[in-house]
Amino acid sequence: MQIISGTTTFQLNKPSAVAIGKFDGIHKGHMALLQEILRQKRQGLQAVVFTFDPLPDIFFGGRPCKLLSTDQEKHRLLEELGVDVLVEYPLTKESASVSPEKFVTEILVKQMKMAYIAAGYDLSFGDKGKGNAALLKKMAPACGYEVSVIDKICLGEREVSSTYVREAVAEGNMELATSLLGREYLILSTVRHGQRLGHVIGMPTMNLIPEEEKLLPPYGVYFSESLVNGAWYKGVTNIGMRPTVSSEPKVTVETFLFDFDADIYDETVGVKLHHYSRAEMRFENVEALSARMHEDAREAADYFTCHS
Protein backbone atom coordinates (compact mmCIF):
# COMPACT_ATOMS: atom_id res chain seq x y z
CA MET A 1 0.00 0.00 0.00
CA GLN A 2 1.29 3.42 -0.94
CA ILE A 3 1.08 5.99 1.87
CA ILE A 4 1.06 9.68 0.96
CA SER A 5 1.62 11.75 4.08
CA GLY A 6 2.87 15.20 5.02
CA THR A 7 2.26 16.84 1.66
CA THR A 8 -0.59 18.51 -0.22
CA THR A 9 1.25 18.34 -3.56
CA PHE A 10 0.88 14.84 -4.88
CA GLN A 11 -0.57 13.30 -8.01
CA LEU A 12 -2.11 9.88 -8.46
CA ASN A 13 -1.56 8.33 -11.88
CA LYS A 14 -4.68 6.21 -12.46
CA PRO A 15 -8.45 6.51 -11.92
CA SER A 16 -9.47 6.01 -8.31
CA ALA A 17 -12.35 4.85 -6.16
CA VAL A 18 -12.20 7.02 -3.04
CA ALA A 19 -13.50 6.74 0.50
CA ILE A 20 -13.25 9.80 2.75
CA GLY A 21 -13.40 9.66 6.51
CA LYS A 22 -11.59 9.65 9.85
CA PHE A 23 -11.24 5.87 9.87
CA ASP A 24 -10.32 5.82 13.56
CA GLY A 25 -10.87 2.24 14.62
CA ILE A 26 -12.07 1.17 11.15
CA HIS A 27 -15.39 -0.03 12.53
CA LYS A 28 -18.33 -1.58 10.65
CA GLY A 29 -19.48 1.83 9.42
CA HIS A 30 -16.07 2.47 7.87
CA MET A 31 -16.06 -1.03 6.43
CA ALA A 32 -19.25 -0.28 4.52
CA LEU A 33 -17.37 2.49 2.69
CA LEU A 34 -14.25 0.40 2.19
CA GLN A 35 -16.19 -2.52 0.76
CA GLU A 36 -17.60 -0.21 -1.91
CA ILE A 37 -14.21 1.03 -3.10
CA LEU A 38 -12.81 -2.50 -2.97
CA ARG A 39 -15.72 -3.58 -5.17
CA GLN A 40 -14.71 -0.82 -7.61
CA LYS A 41 -11.14 -2.05 -7.44
CA ARG A 42 -12.32 -5.34 -8.91
CA GLN A 43 -13.68 -3.28 -11.81
CA GLY A 44 -10.26 -1.76 -12.51
CA LEU A 45 -10.04 1.33 -10.30
CA GLN A 46 -7.46 1.75 -7.58
CA ALA A 47 -8.85 1.80 -4.04
CA VAL A 48 -7.90 5.03 -2.26
CA VAL A 49 -8.63 6.11 1.32
CA PHE A 50 -8.48 9.82 2.08
CA THR A 51 -8.17 11.03 5.65
CA PHE A 52 -6.76 14.05 7.45
CA ASP A 53 -3.69 14.32 9.66
CA PRO A 54 -4.25 15.25 12.40
CA LEU A 55 -7.84 14.11 12.66
CA PRO A 56 -10.36 16.99 12.64
CA ASP A 57 -11.38 16.22 16.24
CA ILE A 58 -7.81 16.85 17.34
CA PHE A 59 -7.16 19.83 15.06
CA PHE A 60 -10.34 21.74 15.84
CA GLY A 61 -10.55 20.54 19.44
CA GLY A 62 -7.10 21.89 20.19
CA ARG A 63 -6.12 19.02 22.47
CA PRO A 64 -4.86 15.46 22.15
CA CYS A 65 -7.40 12.71 21.67
CA LYS A 66 -6.89 9.05 22.44
CA LEU A 67 -7.16 6.98 19.28
CA LEU A 68 -8.78 3.63 18.62
CA SER A 69 -6.17 2.98 15.93
CA THR A 70 -2.59 4.16 15.96
CA ASP A 71 -1.07 4.99 12.57
CA GLN A 72 0.71 1.63 12.53
CA GLU A 73 -2.50 -0.25 13.30
CA LYS A 74 -4.50 1.68 10.71
CA HIS A 75 -1.87 1.17 8.03
CA ARG A 76 -1.66 -2.56 8.63
CA LEU A 77 -5.42 -3.12 8.57
CA LEU A 78 -6.01 -1.05 5.43
CA GLU A 79 -3.21 -2.86 3.65
CA GLU A 80 -4.59 -6.24 4.71
CA LEU A 81 -7.99 -5.23 3.33
CA GLY A 82 -6.48 -4.46 -0.06
CA VAL A 83 -6.43 -0.65 -0.13
CA ASP A 84 -3.95 0.59 -2.73
CA VAL A 85 -3.32 4.15 -1.56
CA LEU A 86 -3.79 5.94 1.76
CA VAL A 87 -3.71 9.73 1.64
CA GLU A 88 -3.09 11.38 5.03
CA TYR A 89 -3.77 14.96 3.98
CA PRO A 90 -2.20 17.62 6.24
CA LEU A 91 -4.93 19.49 8.10
CA THR A 92 -3.88 23.10 8.59
CA LYS A 93 -5.66 26.45 8.77
CA GLU A 94 -5.01 26.84 5.05
CA SER A 95 -6.20 23.40 3.98
CA ALA A 96 -9.22 23.58 6.30
CA SER A 97 -10.34 26.81 4.62
CA VAL A 98 -10.41 25.44 1.07
CA SER A 99 -13.89 25.87 -0.43
CA PRO A 100 -15.85 22.63 -0.79
CA GLU A 101 -16.07 23.09 -4.56
CA LYS A 102 -12.31 23.54 -4.89
CA PHE A 103 -11.74 20.55 -2.63
CA VAL A 104 -13.72 18.44 -5.10
CA THR A 105 -12.26 19.79 -8.34
CA GLU A 106 -8.63 20.31 -7.33
CA ILE A 107 -7.93 17.61 -4.77
CA LEU A 108 -10.39 14.79 -5.43
CA VAL A 109 -10.78 15.04 -9.20
CA LYS A 110 -7.47 16.53 -10.37
CA GLN A 111 -4.92 15.20 -7.87
CA MET A 112 -6.60 11.90 -7.05
CA LYS A 113 -8.19 11.16 -10.44
CA MET A 114 -11.42 10.29 -8.66
CA ALA A 115 -13.84 8.30 -10.80
CA TYR A 116 -15.96 7.01 -7.92
CA ILE A 117 -16.55 8.05 -4.32
CA ALA A 118 -18.25 6.26 -1.45
CA ALA A 119 -19.55 8.82 1.02
CA GLY A 120 -21.45 8.63 4.27
CA TYR A 121 -24.63 10.67 4.35
CA ASP A 122 -23.14 12.83 7.16
CA LEU A 123 -19.85 13.53 5.38
CA SER A 124 -18.54 17.09 5.71
CA PHE A 125 -15.51 18.68 4.08
CA GLY A 126 -14.09 22.01 2.98
CA ASP A 127 -14.39 25.43 4.60
CA LYS A 128 -16.52 25.26 7.76
CA GLY A 129 -17.52 21.72 6.79
CA LYS A 130 -19.99 23.04 4.22
CA GLY A 131 -19.22 20.30 1.72
CA ASN A 132 -21.45 17.24 1.95
CA ALA A 133 -22.80 14.25 0.07
CA ALA A 134 -25.41 16.42 -1.65
CA LEU A 135 -22.68 18.66 -3.09
CA LEU A 136 -20.74 15.63 -4.32
CA LYS A 137 -23.81 14.39 -6.17
CA LYS A 138 -24.52 17.85 -7.59
CA MET A 139 -20.99 18.21 -9.01
CA ALA A 140 -20.70 14.63 -10.26
CA PRO A 141 -22.06 15.07 -13.83
CA ALA A 142 -19.77 17.98 -14.70
CA CYS A 143 -16.72 16.42 -13.02
CA GLY A 144 -17.22 12.92 -14.40
CA TYR A 145 -17.34 10.76 -11.30
CA GLU A 146 -19.91 8.47 -9.71
CA VAL A 147 -21.22 8.85 -6.14
CA SER A 148 -22.60 6.24 -3.78
CA VAL A 149 -24.05 7.55 -0.52
CA ILE A 150 -23.80 4.85 2.12
CA ASP A 151 -26.31 4.57 4.94
CA LYS A 152 -25.13 4.36 8.51
CA ILE A 153 -24.67 0.91 10.02
CA CYS A 154 -26.63 0.36 13.24
CA LEU A 155 -26.29 -2.01 16.15
CA GLY A 156 -29.73 -2.21 17.68
CA GLU A 157 -31.14 1.31 17.52
CA ARG A 158 -27.80 3.12 17.73
CA GLU A 159 -25.49 4.06 14.88
CA VAL A 160 -22.07 2.45 14.84
CA SER A 161 -19.48 5.18 15.32
CA SER A 162 -15.99 5.74 16.70
CA THR A 163 -17.61 7.43 19.70
CA TYR A 164 -19.67 4.31 20.40
CA VAL A 165 -16.56 2.11 20.12
CA ARG A 166 -14.65 4.42 22.49
CA GLU A 167 -17.42 4.12 25.06
CA ALA A 168 -17.31 0.33 24.85
CA VAL A 169 -13.52 0.19 25.18
CA ALA A 170 -13.50 2.71 28.05
CA GLU A 171 -15.99 0.51 29.90
CA GLY A 172 -14.00 -2.67 29.26
CA ASN A 173 -16.92 -4.10 27.30
CA MET A 174 -14.77 -5.91 24.78
CA GLU A 175 -17.66 -8.01 23.45
CA LEU A 176 -19.54 -4.84 22.47
CA ALA A 177 -16.37 -3.38 20.96
CA THR A 178 -15.99 -6.56 18.89
CA SER A 179 -19.59 -6.26 17.65
CA LEU A 180 -19.03 -2.64 16.60
CA LEU A 181 -15.65 -3.22 14.97
CA GLY A 182 -16.40 -6.55 13.36
CA ARG A 183 -13.23 -7.91 14.98
CA GLU A 184 -11.58 -7.83 18.39
CA TYR A 185 -9.94 -4.63 19.66
CA LEU A 186 -6.27 -4.69 18.69
CA ILE A 187 -3.12 -3.38 20.35
CA LEU A 188 -0.11 -3.48 18.03
CA SER A 189 3.36 -2.80 19.41
CA THR A 190 6.92 -4.06 19.78
CA VAL A 191 8.00 -6.60 22.39
CA ARG A 192 10.34 -5.05 24.96
CA HIS A 193 12.49 -6.48 27.72
CA GLY A 194 10.82 -6.58 31.11
CA GLN A 195 11.90 -7.59 34.60
CA ARG A 196 11.78 -11.30 33.64
CA LEU A 197 9.64 -11.96 36.71
CA GLY A 198 7.40 -14.18 34.61
CA HIS A 199 10.29 -16.58 34.01
CA VAL A 200 10.87 -16.82 37.76
CA ILE A 201 7.25 -17.81 38.51
CA GLY A 202 6.90 -20.09 35.49
CA MET A 203 4.77 -17.75 33.36
CA PRO A 204 7.04 -15.87 30.94
CA THR A 205 5.28 -12.90 29.38
CA MET A 206 5.80 -10.65 26.41
CA ASN A 207 5.82 -6.97 27.32
CA LEU A 208 4.47 -4.23 25.10
CA ILE A 209 4.68 -0.48 25.69
CA PRO A 210 1.60 0.93 23.94
CA GLU A 211 1.83 4.23 22.10
CA GLU A 212 0.74 7.21 24.19
CA GLU A 213 -2.13 8.12 21.89
CA LYS A 214 -3.64 4.60 21.99
CA LEU A 215 -6.95 4.31 23.83
CA LEU A 216 -6.63 1.51 26.38
CA PRO A 217 -9.47 -0.21 28.23
CA PRO A 218 -9.56 -0.14 32.06
CA TYR A 219 -6.49 -1.54 33.78
CA GLY A 220 -6.99 -5.20 34.43
CA VAL A 221 -6.79 -8.75 33.13
CA TYR A 222 -8.12 -9.74 29.70
CA PHE A 223 -8.46 -12.99 27.83
CA SER A 224 -6.62 -12.43 24.59
CA GLU A 225 -5.09 -13.75 21.39
CA SER A 226 -1.74 -12.60 20.08
CA LEU A 227 -0.37 -12.63 16.56
CA VAL A 228 3.28 -13.68 16.66
CA ASN A 229 5.25 -14.47 13.50
CA GLY A 230 2.08 -15.08 11.52
CA ALA A 231 0.35 -17.38 14.03
CA TRP A 232 -2.30 -16.70 16.68
CA TYR A 233 -1.76 -17.81 20.28
CA LYS A 234 -4.37 -17.68 23.01
CA GLY A 235 -3.40 -16.27 26.37
CA VAL A 236 -4.08 -13.82 29.17
CA THR A 237 -3.11 -10.13 29.16
CA ASN A 238 -2.63 -7.64 31.98
CA ILE A 239 -2.96 -3.96 31.12
CA GLY A 240 -1.79 -1.48 33.73
CA MET A 241 0.97 -0.37 36.06
CA ARG A 242 1.91 -3.72 37.69
CA PRO A 243 1.55 -2.26 41.21
CA THR A 244 2.83 -5.38 43.00
CA VAL A 245 6.26 -5.35 41.35
CA SER A 246 6.77 -1.85 39.98
CA SER A 247 6.54 1.75 41.18
CA GLU A 248 7.25 3.25 37.74
CA PRO A 249 4.45 5.34 36.22
CA LYS A 250 4.56 3.30 33.02
CA VAL A 251 1.65 1.47 31.45
CA THR A 252 2.42 -1.96 30.03
CA VAL A 253 0.50 -4.59 28.11
CA GLU A 254 1.87 -7.87 29.46
CA THR A 255 0.74 -11.17 27.93
CA PHE A 256 1.27 -14.81 28.85
CA LEU A 257 0.85 -17.01 25.78
CA PHE A 258 -0.34 -20.60 25.98
CA ASP A 259 1.89 -23.23 24.33
CA PHE A 260 4.56 -20.74 23.33
CA ASP A 261 8.24 -20.51 24.14
CA ALA A 262 10.44 -18.41 21.87
CA ASP A 263 12.57 -15.27 21.92
CA ILE A 264 10.50 -12.52 20.28
CA TYR A 265 12.15 -9.40 21.66
CA ASP A 266 11.92 -6.45 19.23
CA GLU A 267 9.26 -8.26 17.18
CA THR A 268 6.03 -6.42 16.35
CA VAL A 269 3.02 -8.33 17.65
CA GLY A 270 -0.72 -7.75 17.80
CA VAL A 271 -2.86 -8.48 20.86
CA LYS A 272 -6.63 -8.93 20.44
CA LEU A 273 -8.73 -8.44 23.56
CA HIS A 274 -11.68 -10.83 23.82
CA HIS A 275 -12.98 -10.44 27.35
CA TYR A 276 -12.38 -8.34 30.47
CA SER A 277 -11.90 -10.65 33.45
CA ARG A 278 -11.00 -8.52 36.47
CA ALA A 279 -9.45 -5.24 37.61
CA GLU A 280 -5.72 -4.89 38.17
CA MET A 281 -4.79 -5.60 41.80
CA ARG A 282 -1.91 -5.05 44.20
CA PHE A 283 -0.90 -8.27 45.95
CA GLU A 284 0.92 -8.69 49.25
CA ASN A 285 3.85 -10.48 47.65
CA VAL A 286 5.09 -12.18 44.50
CA GLU A 287 3.80 -15.56 45.66
CA ALA A 288 0.24 -14.23 45.87
CA LEU A 289 0.64 -12.59 42.48
CA SER A 290 1.91 -15.86 41.00
CA ALA A 291 -1.04 -17.82 42.38
CA ARG A 292 -3.52 -15.34 40.92
CA MET A 293 -1.77 -15.29 37.53
CA HIS A 294 -2.01 -19.06 37.30
CA GLU A 295 -5.70 -18.84 38.20
CA ASP A 296 -6.21 -16.17 35.52
CA ALA A 297 -4.56 -18.48 32.97
CA ARG A 298 -6.86 -21.36 33.93
CA GLU A 299 -9.92 -19.12 33.61
CA ALA A 300 -8.74 -17.90 30.21
CA ALA A 301 -8.23 -21.48 29.02
CA ASP A 302 -11.75 -22.33 30.17
CA TYR A 303 -13.11 -19.25 28.40
CA PHE A 304 -11.55 -20.18 25.08
CA THR A 305 -12.70 -23.77 25.43
CA CYS A 306 -16.27 -22.52 25.77
CA HIS A 307 -15.91 -19.96 22.96
CA SER A 308 -14.00 -21.98 20.40
CA distance 29 to 158: 12
What pLDDT score does 61 carry? Answer: 75
Mean pLDDT (the chain) is 92
The CATH number that applies at residue 90 is 3.40.50.620
Residue 48 has a CB neighbour count (10 Å cut-off) of 29
- 239-274 pLDDT, tens digit each: 998 766 665 778 999 999 998 888 888 899 999 999
Q: Are residues 40 and 122 in the same domain?
A: yes
DSSP 204-249: -EEEE---TTB----SEEEEEEEEETTEEEEEEEEEE--TTT--S-
**Total domain count, the chain:** 2
Q: Are residues 69 and 204 in the same domain?
A: no
CA distance 55 to 160: 19
Model pTM score: 0.92
- 64-88 pLDDT, tens digit each: 789 999 999 999 999 999 999 999 9
Q: Are residues 154 and 38 in the same domain?
A: yes
Q: Does the residue 220 lie in any domain?
A: yes
What pLDDT score does 197 carry? Answer: 57
Q: Are residues 196 and 155 in the same domain?
A: no
Q: Does the residue 221 lie in any domain?
A: yes
Confidence of residue 286 (pLDDT cuts 50, 70, 90): confident
Q: Are residues 150 and 23 in the same domain?
A: yes
Q: Are residues 152 and 191 in the same domain?
A: no
Q: Are residues 83 and 207 in the same domain?
A: no
CB 177 within 8 A of CB 169: yes
Report the percent of the chain where pLDDT is more than 70: 95
Report the percent of the chain where pLDDT is more than 90: 76
Provide mean pLDDT across the span 296-305: 96
φ, ψ for residue 69, nearest 5 deg: -130, 125
Which of 159, 194, 213 terminates a domain? The answer is: 159
Q: Does the residue 179 lie in any domain?
A: no
Q: Does the residue 173 lie in any domain?
A: no
Domain that holds residue 215: 184-306
- Higher-confidence residue of 187 and 54: namely 187
Q: Are residues 91 and 193 in the same domain?
A: no
What pLDDT score does 206 carry? Answer: 92
What pLDDT score does 226 carry? Answer: 96
- 27-68 pLDDT, tens digit each: 999 999 999 999 999 999 999 999 998 888 888 876 778 999
Q: Are residues 33 and 125 in the same domain?
A: yes
Question: How wide is the angle at C-alpha 245 spanned by C-alphas 244 and 251, nearest 5°?
Answer: 90
Which of 159, 174, 200 terminates a domain? The answer is: 159
Q: Does the residue 165 lie in any domain?
A: no
- 153-181 pLDDT, tens digit each: 999 999 999 999 999 999 999 999 999 99
Nearest to 267 by CA among 186, 191, 187, 206: 191
pLDDT at 112 over 60: yes
Quote the crossing angle between the two packed helices 162-170 and 174-181, to the nearest 10°.
160
The CATH number that applies at residue 279 is 2.40.30.30
